[in-house]
Amino acid sequence: MIQVVCVKQVADTETRVKVAGDGKSLDPAGVTWILNPYDEFAVEQALRVKEKAGAGEVIVISMGGAGVATTLRNALAMGADRAIHLRSDTAADPLSVARALAAEIAALAPRLVWLGKQAVDDDAAQVGPMLAELLHVPAVTAIATFELEGEKATVEREIEGGREVVEVQLPALFTADKGLNEPRYASLKGIMAAKKKPIEEKPAVLGDPTLDVVSLALPPARSAGRIVGQGVDGVAELVRVLHEEAKVI
Amino acid sequence: MSVLVFIEQRDGKIRSVSREALGEAVRLAEKLSGPVVAVCAAAADPGVAALGEAGAERALLASDPRFALYDAEATVAVVAAAVEAVRPDVVLFAASAMGRDLAPRVAARLGLGLASDCTALAVEGGKLRATRPVFAGKALQTVGFVRTPALVSLRPKVFAPVSRTGRQANVEVLAGAWGDPSRAHVVRVAAAASGKADLTESEIIVSGGRGLKGPENFALLDQLAAALGATVGASRAVVDAGWRPHSDQVGQTGKTVSPKLYVAVGISGAIQHLAGMSSSRCIVAINKDPDAPIFKVADYGLVGDLFEVVPALTEAVQKLNAHV
Ligand SMILES: Cc1cc2nc3c(=O)[nH]c(=O)nc-3n(C[C@H](O)[C@H](O)[C@H](O)COP(=O)(O)OP(=O)(O)OC[C@H]3O[C@@H](n4cnc5c(N)ncnc54)[C@H](O)[C@@H]3O)c2cc1C
Ligand SMILES: Nc1ncnc2c1ncn2[C@@H]1O[C@H](COP(=O)(O)O)[C@@H](O)[C@H]1O
């Protein structure tokens, strides 16, 4: 069984955001790049499905600039079999990304397609459900559990005040929420093996964009607050300011 | 220029996030000078005429037993049919569990741009501009749309609903077959333990971190939350330790919340935690370390041992409640 995992390279979550000279994008200077945290859950789940089946192939695919190869190596080191790098040096809107991924993935005819719930840079949470629509496969987004029996998956996704229990016939697409599993660390052996695994590079096929970015700006800094007191003695003052000043209680 | 709003219902009840979206639709419609139209998919009419009070002039209703539980593929078909019927300039969704799943599918089906989880909308020179937090709130991105309708999902608890007492929306039936049975089938909804409110929809949140020292001590926060009418949240450290479920986690890999009051107890204020809560209206930090980074974003800080402060605070809030 072929499984495809879409992974994105993103700025580390500790990054202090600086706006680039174009006023629209992140200044990449000094940024550490990582595999999008939600995509680690996606890679892990695909590996578990393969390990349980005892056979199959896990293909990781990423669209982005030259640096993306390092992130693909990370996924290969976790245990993916091979990688596809859709080369594109310009940022793209979510639908364009989904279209480029769909064009490549359709030809692979996977039984399972995995993505992260959202990329922690653009925080769009769009590419997964868009890709499902473009590939005409059923999908469940932001899943918290996954069970596979034959050709039927049973998954749960968190909704406000509960969880939806969803049954899906393969082929299908899922996006992973945190808590789906505990992603493995790449072993030294895995890292060595990854160096020999193939990364196929090809140009991404991008259509017309659907959004145009007008600006990227830093949010207004929260005005510095104040310490209302120390220990139990400060409690009365805290309640007073919340009631009288902030009027929130 | 009209604004179409997708109305969410669960168990036959219209969800409050949809009233927030209608409120913003009313404000947009004033600038675009067009009507506000609601569209709802439900097993039976959840009372869409009453959406007039929330700002809708027309309400399109697709009723079919298959909408008893969320049916993604059929709901996409309903929204697409409504777009066809109304030809709006803007379509609004809530960035809720349902809206986050639905809106991108609609965008892909119709080949349109979607700005997700927006916190502000503006009309400049007749064009819609949507502003959305990116990098977990460390920056704000503003986007424009290449084609209309522009699709937008709105972050819960950010946009105010409107109230037009006594108004009724004109209800129209939206007929259709809504496609084949969905291949991803929601078989049931398992209710959350104790019918706890969702963090993203809570007015007040009390969150606990590693400073609580153990899962049993969250009882202190439960008591404070009960006094405040709040929901209890958590930092990732305590979720990863297994003290609290993942659904309680606030932050970059948890929930993004914007309550009117956020109380952080025994939470240091790591950048990934701040990401999830810094858009709260008022932030209170209780921490024994005066240098904890959480104090940099807090409106009000109390330096002290939470094991002493929290019970005293609970008592003081109870007293206040007894007075007002
Ligand atoms: C990719 C990634 C994603 C992440 N996502 C998230 C996320 O979504 N949410 C999140 O929260 N974190 C997230 N983190 C983790 C984050 O970096 C921190 O590790 C975490 O937030 C720390 O939790 P904490 O504040 O509870 O614990 P600590 O940092 O250990 O802080 C405990 C605090 O309690 C105080 N304290 C101790 N005892 C007392 C007492 N008796 N009275 C009063 N105060 C006391 C201490 O002074 C300290 O400030 C993420 C990290 C990474 C790398
Ligand atoms: N450039 C990309 N290459 C491969 N996968 C991507 C890319 N962008 C987004 N994805 C996938 O789509 C998910 C959601 O991303 P987003 O919609 O941008 O929040 C990510 O977690 C990835 O799995």
CA nearest to B1, candidates B88, B113, B129: B88
Q: In the prediction, which pLDDT does A51 show? A: 98
| Complex ipTM | 0.96
* A164 → closest Cβ in B76, B113, B186: B186
Asked if the Cβ–Cβ distance from A121 to B252 is below 8 Å, we say no
Span from the CA of A39 to the centroid of ligand 2 (angstroms): 8
Q: Is the pLDDT of residue A34 over 80?
A: yes
C-alpha–C-alpha distance, residues A186 and A188, integer Å: 7
Name B60's bridge partners.
B39, B172
The residues in B 38-57 lying below 8 A from A, measured between CB atoms, are none
Give the CATH number of domain B3-173: 3.40.50.620
Asked if the Cβ–Cβ distance from B184 to A166 is below 8 Å, we say yes
Query: For the purposes of burial, counting CB atoms within 10 Å of the CB of A210, is it exposed (0-12), middle (13-18) or buried (19 or more)?
Result: buried
- Name the percent of chain A in helix, strand, coil, to the closest 5: 30, 35, 35
Mean pLDDT confidence for A39-57: 98
Phi-psi region of B49 (alpha: psi -120 to 50; beta: other; left: phi over 0): alpha
Name A6's bridge partners.
A61
DSSP per-residue codes, B221-238:
HHHHHHHHT-EEEE-HHH
* A168 → closest Cβ in B134, B183, B247: B183
Mean pLDDT confidence for A194-211: 96
Q: What is the pLDDT of residues A60-91, one digit of tens each?
A: 999 999 999 999 999 999 999 999 999 999 98
Chain A residues whose beta carbon lies within 8 Å of the beta carbon of residue B191 = 161-162
Helix (H, G, I), strand (E, B) or coil at B20: helix
Confidence of residue A224 (pLDDT cuts 50, 70, 90): confident
Name the residue type at position A116: G
Q: In the prediction, which pLDDT does A249 show? A: 94
Mean pLDDT confidence for A195-206: 96
Closest B-chain CA to A14: B271
The residues in B 226-245 lying below 8 A from A, measured between CB atoms, are 228
Asked if the Cβ–Cβ distance from A17 to B139 is below 8 Å, we say yes
Give the CATH number of domain B199-322: 3.40.50.1220
Residue B309 contacts A, CB cutoff 8 Å = yes
Atom index in ligand 2 nearest the CA of residue A116 equals 21
Residues 6+ positions from A223 with CB-CB distance below 8 Å: none
Q: In the prediction, which pLDDT does B193 show? A: 65
Span from the CA of A227 to the centroid of ligand 1 (angstroms): 20
What is the nearest CA distance from A243 to chain B, expressed in angstroms?
9
Q: Is the pLDDT of residue A93 over 80?
A: yes
Q: What is the pLDDT of residues B79-130, one digit of tens each?
A: 999 999 999 999 999 999 999 999 999 999 999 999 999 999 999 988 999 9
What is the nearest CA distance from A147 to chain B, expressed in angstroms?
14
Mean pLDDT, rounded, of chain A = 96
Confidence of residue A220 (pLDDT cuts 50, 70, 90): confident
Span from the CA of B158 to the centroid of ligand 1 (angstroms): 26
C-alpha–C-alpha distance, residues B177 and A65, integer Å: 44
Name B300's bridge partners.
A226, B284
Phi, psi of A238 (to 5 degrees): -60, -45
Span from the CA of A48 to the centroid of ligand 1 (angstroms): 30
Mean pLDDT confidence for A130-155: 98
Mean pLDDT confidence for A181-188: 96
Asked if the Cβ–Cβ distance from A219 to B70 is below 8 Å, we say no
Q: For a pocket test of ligand 2, which of A3, A72, A127, A205 has the largest count of ligand atoms closer than 8 A to its C-beta?
A: A127
Q: In the prediction, which pLDDT does B194 show? A: 60
Task: Return the domain boundaries, chain B.
Answer: 3-173, 199-322
What separation in angstroms does the CA of B28 have from each of A138, B1, B3, B128, B159? 34, 10, 8, 9, 12
Contact B78, B41 (CB under 8 A): yes
Q: In the prediction, which pLDDT does B254 show? A: 94
Supply B129's token pair. Answer: 């501009």
Contact B212, B220 (CB under 8 A): yes
Q: How many other C-beta atoms lie within 10 A of the C-beta of residue A209?
A: 15
Chain A residues whose beta carbon lies within 8 Å of the beta carbon of residue B138 = 15-17, 218-219
Q: CA Rg, chain B, in Å?
A: 21
Asked if the Cβ–Cβ distance from A225 to B113 is below 8 Å, we say no
Q: Which of the pair, A197 or A224, is modelled with greater confidence?
A: A197
What is the nearest CA distance from B141 to chain A, expressed in angstroms?
4
DSSP B305: -
Closest B-chain CA to A179: B246
Name the residue type at position B105: R
C-alpha–C-alpha distance, residues B225 and A235, integer Å: 16
The model's pTM is: 0.96
Mean pLDDT confidence for A168-185: 97
Supply A162's token pair. Answer: 């509960």
Chain B residues whose beta carbon lies within 8 Å of the beta carbon of residue A219 = 133, 137-140
Asked if the Cβ–Cβ distance from A121 to B134 is below 8 Å, we say yes
Q: What are the average pLDDT values for consecutive 10-residue runs of chain B, which has 324 residues?
A: 95 96 97 94 98 98 96 97 97 98 98 98 95 95 97 96 97 94 93 78 97 98 97 98 95 94 98 93 97 96 98 97 85
C-alpha–C-alpha distance, residues A114 and A100, integer Å: 16
Span from the CA of B273 to the centroid of ligand 1 (angstroms): 7
Atom index in ligand 2 nearest the CA of residue A131 equals 12
Chain B residues whose beta carbon lies within 8 Å of the beta carbon of residue A167 = 184-185, 187
Phi, psi of A210 (to 5 degrees): -110, -15
